[in-house]
Amino acid sequence: MNRRYFLMSTAAAPAAALANNRRPQSANETIRVAVLGVNGRGRSHIGGLQPLPNVEITTLVDPDLNVANERAAAFEKQYGKRPKVVQDMRKVFDDKEIDVVTVATPNHWHALATIWACQAGKDVYVEKPGTHSVAEGRTMIAAAKKYNRIVQHGVQLRSSEAIQEAIQKVKDGFIGDVYMARATIFKWRPKMEHHANEAPPSHLDYDMWVGPGKFRPYSKNHVHYNWHWTWDFGNGEIGNQGVHEIDLLQWGLGVKLPTKVTALGGKYLWKDHRETPEVMSALCEFGKEKKYAEIAVRFWMSNNEALGANGNLFYGSEGYLSIGGYETYQFFMGRKGEPGPKGKAPTKHYENFIAAVRSGRTEDQNGPVETAHYSSALAHVANIAFRRGSVLTFDPDKEQFVGDAEANKLLVNRGRKGFEIPTPEKV
């Protein structure tokens, strides 16, 4: 395997030269795409990108060949052409015919796959959360800038004209002085069956699946979707569905990272192998902006608090805003909560990404790499507060906890041998 661009000392110059010489692409030029990870969100990437004009998905990548071949057969049946199937993503980075990589792997792979793609001169659409740990985000930003790449974070609500309109009204003072937001993350998550450790199946390259994560013996407890609830590979529900709501919370409040955070919760319903909490409430204070936020995670049966089970509430001195899902908003005004303006519009996030790829202009993006870092980092910081079981002070400029060395250790993952995640200076 040619890994020239993974070796920073030998790769940076040619890759950077290629990337920085990018030119705008016309609407008639075909953009060729490889999808990394096709068991879950990768199916949405296929369905969202392949129908777009002059966009062609050429390659499906998954360390589980059974999953990859099944998805390739479904693609051929729907679109009349069978894409290439690849088990090792590094072959995609060597392929000069591929322009764009989308990352729908487990969370622990998101940052390194994005960094490698940037080094190979490819634009990236990366699923939420953009990172598995806080420090990875800075390296992603450095890679995108150094190699002049478009890196779009998969937070679809950023590309709904209705949500854009609602947030602009908030910023224009429609509900007065906004002091607080509440993110609700209420997903239906049934009890999980326990699986023992065993040898990985022959169709799965398990070493590649683990990649930069901490190696653990193979088990169905954490392979495929179950990895969300294992700290070494996932980030729990706050880092899953929750990143959509956190990203919107930061956007609407005009904040990034908190100065103080605490979180309580645990497992109160199911006695299963999940390591992450079923229920969690995180409280965040943004001292510089003088804003406050609550982030609520629930499994199983629950009421709706916004317009839906997953959404946001913004509270101002003259009223409040409710946003449900990725497309719908409603204002409520005054002490009696009289209904105010409302709106609904579909999200066009893939379209926005492709438009930015064609123009090469990061300012055309609705979900640039910086939003991937900050929304993911807030979820990570809240998770660390939960794991430490205390109120933590955070320095948002240094992106470090104050006076808690154990918490700071949880901010960083540098990967395994062969899958090292570089620092920003060495990207």
Residue whose tokens read 């634009």? 123
Contact 37, 63 (CB under 8 A): no
Which H/E stretch holds residue 92?
Answer: helix 90-94
198 within a domain of the structure (yes/no): no
What is the model's pLDDT at position 95?
97
Residues 320, 183 share a domain: yes
For residue 310, what are its two tokens? Answer: 């997953």
Q: Do residues 369 and 395 lie in contact, with contact meaning Cβ atoms separated by under 8 Å?
A: no
The backbone torsions φ and ψ at residue 79, rounded to the nearest 5 degrees and listed phi first, read -110, -5
pTM, rounded to two decimals: 0.95
Shared domain for 253 and 319, answered yes or no, is: yes
CA distances from 195 to 97, 222, 289 (A): 41, 9, 46
Do 153 and 78 fall within a single domain? Answer: yes
Kindly state whether residue 332 falls inside one of the protein's structural domains: yes
Q: Is the peptide bond before 129 cis (omega within 30 degrees of 0)?
A: yes
Residues 117, 186, single domain; the answer is no
Q: Assess whether 294 and 171 both reside in one domain.
A: yes
pLDDT score, position 9: 32
Q: Which two tokens stand for residue 234?
A: 């996932």
Let me know whether 178 and 143 are in one domain: no
Rounded distance between C-alpha atoms, residue 245 and residue 287, angstroms: 20
Number of Cβ atoms within 10 Å of the Cβ of 237:
25
**Which helix (H) or strand (E) is 106 found in, with range?**
none
For 190, other C-beta atoms within 10 Å of its C-beta total 10
For residue 201, being part of any structural domain is answered with: no
Q: Is the dihedral of CA 107, 204, 41, 89 positive or negative?
A: positive
Q: In this structure, what is the dihedral angle of CA atoms 148, 19, 36, 416, given to the nearest 10 degrees? A: -80
Asked if residue 385 lies in contact with residue 261, where contact means CB atoms within 8 angstroms, the answer is: yes
Radius of gyration of the chain from Cα atoms?
Answer: 21
- Per-residue pLDDT at 358: 98
- CATH number at 421 reads 3.40.50.720
Candidates 358, 424, 356; CA nearest to 159 is 356
Main-chain phi, psi angles of 371, to 5 degrees? -70, -30
The CATH number assigned to the domain holding 261 equals 3.30.360.10
104 with 223, same domain: the answer is no
**Within-domain flag for 300:** yes
From first to last of its 427 residues, the chain has per-residue pLDDT tens of: 444 444 433 344 444 445 556 778 888 899 999 999 999 999 999 999 999 999 999 999 999 999 999 999 999 999 999 999 999 999 999 999 999 999 999 999 999 999 999 999 999 999 999 999 999 999 999 999 999 999 999 999 999 999 999 999 999 999 999 999 999 999 999 999 999 999 999 999 999 999 999 999 999 999 999 999 999 999 999 999 999 999 999 999 999 999 999 999 999 999 999 999 999 999 999 999 999 999 999 999 899 999 999 999 999 999 999 999 999 999 999 999 999 999 999 999 999 999 999 999 999 999 999 999 999 999 999 999 999 999 999 999 999 999 999 999 999 999 999 999 999 999 9
Q: Does 374 map to a domain?
A: no
Structure token digits, residue 48: 């969202």
Instruction: Please state, in angstroms and rounded to a whole number, the distance separating the CA atoms of residues 156 and 75.
Output: 23
Pair 166, 151 in one domain: no
Per-residue pLDDT at 26: 84
Q: Is residue 119 part of a domain?
A: yes
The total of structural domains in the chain comes to: 2
For 134: left if phi > 0, alpha if psi spans -120 to 50, otherwise beta; the answer is: alpha
Reference 334, options 137, 124, 174; nearest CA is: 174
Domain ranges, residue 267: 161-193+207-345+379-403
Helix (H/G/I), strand (E/B), else coil: 166:
helix
Q: Is residue 85 one of the residues assigned to a domain?
A: yes
Beta strands at 31-36 and 55-61: parallel, antiparallel or unpaired:
parallel
Show the tokens assigned to 369. Answer: 């790499």
Same domain, 51 and 88: yes
Does residue 410 form part of some domain?
Answer: no
